[in-house]
Structure 1
């Protein structure tokens, strides 16, 4: 939670202060586009707005993760399966990077994958519990 507040403060401060020429050495901008309306955008797991964004988002130069998949349903398997919904990009100082994300049905697919993985975990734990129970009941 603290990280989100700090990120929002830095982002809001950078929108105002990154306009001077000396700050262009530290900040870059990300301009996010997609093929659907009202798509939520996240940068480094922080919600930054919905499509269409009015202006590019100011960020500290470096690597960032840009996507529309909420951080609470992201896992390694989902990241691997939905590469069009989450991109790792590098923003150069003073540069505006344009990122295009294909939306279509990927968010609903991500939610379905997350529920499938949850069911798989429950089944695995249940089977493991039954095996342990059977081993101890035999002894």
Structure 2
């Protein structure tokens, strides 16, 4: 009989101290619009849907990255958002941020950054060959 009261008391205490809401603070919202339909929208690397999105995306307060490219392990420019086309927004709680993605400009910017990255690799390979050649001259 005592165990019923102890278990009942524990259940009552756990329910009364349980988290009553999903978020500790009220969420903020992001509304994403695009110049093209059926564009995938990624918020912090997570696919949220395709444009046009009917409902705003609820997010916690803080900085968030929005793009139409998935995170990639092969391409560090896409993974870490080093291109200008990826949008970085800061969302306050109970605030709505509107973001417009111009996919044509994002695509051109991504191609330009990839070309610069490729040139950097060629310069690095050239410097390595120059170093090896200098070491060969010194050793002979």
**Structure 2: gaps spanning 5 or more residues:** 1-20
Cross-structure match for 1:28: 28
Cross-structure match for 1:5: none
**1:74, 1:37 → 2: CA distance?**
27
**Structure 1: gaps spanning 5 or more residues:** 1-16
**Shift of residue 105 of structure 1?**
4.5
Question: Aligned pair 1:63/2:63, yes or no?
Answer: yes
Alpha-carbon spacing, 1:106–1:36, altered in 2? closer, same or farther (3 Å): same
**Shift of residue 122 of structure 1?**
2.9
Residues 24 and 94 in structure 1, CA contact (< 8 A), matched pair in contact too:
no
Alpha-carbon spacing, 1:136–1:94, altered in 2? closer, same or farther (3 Å): same
**Shift of residue 34 of structure 1?**
0.9
Aligned length: 115
Cα RMSD over matched residues? 2.7
1:99-128 superposed Cα distances (whole Å, 9 cap, x missing partner):
112222422541x23541342233122211
Residues 29 and 56 in structure 1, CA contact (< 8 A), matched pair in contact too:
yes
Residues 35 and 102 in structure 1, CA contact (< 8 A), matched pair in contact too:
yes
**Shift of residue 54 of structure 1?**
2.5
1:31-90 superposed Cα distances (whole Å, 9 cap, x missing partner):
1001111112111222222111121111111221222233324529x956x53x322212
**1:130, 1:74 → 2: CA distance?**
25
Cross-structure match for 2:77: 75
**Shift of residue 96 of structure 1?**
2.3
**Shift of residue 129 of structure 1?**
1.9
Question: Aligned pair 1:137/2:139, yes or no?
Answer: no
**1:24, 1:56 → 2: CA distance?**
19
Could you state the TM-score of these two structures normalised by the residue count of structure 2?
Answer: 0.66
Larger % of helix: which?
1
Computing the radius of gyration from Cα coordinates, the structure with the larger value is 2
How is 1:90-129 mapped onto 2 (pairs within 5 angstroms)? 90-107=90-107, 109-110=109-110, 112-129=111-128
**Shift of residue 137 of structure 1?**
1.7
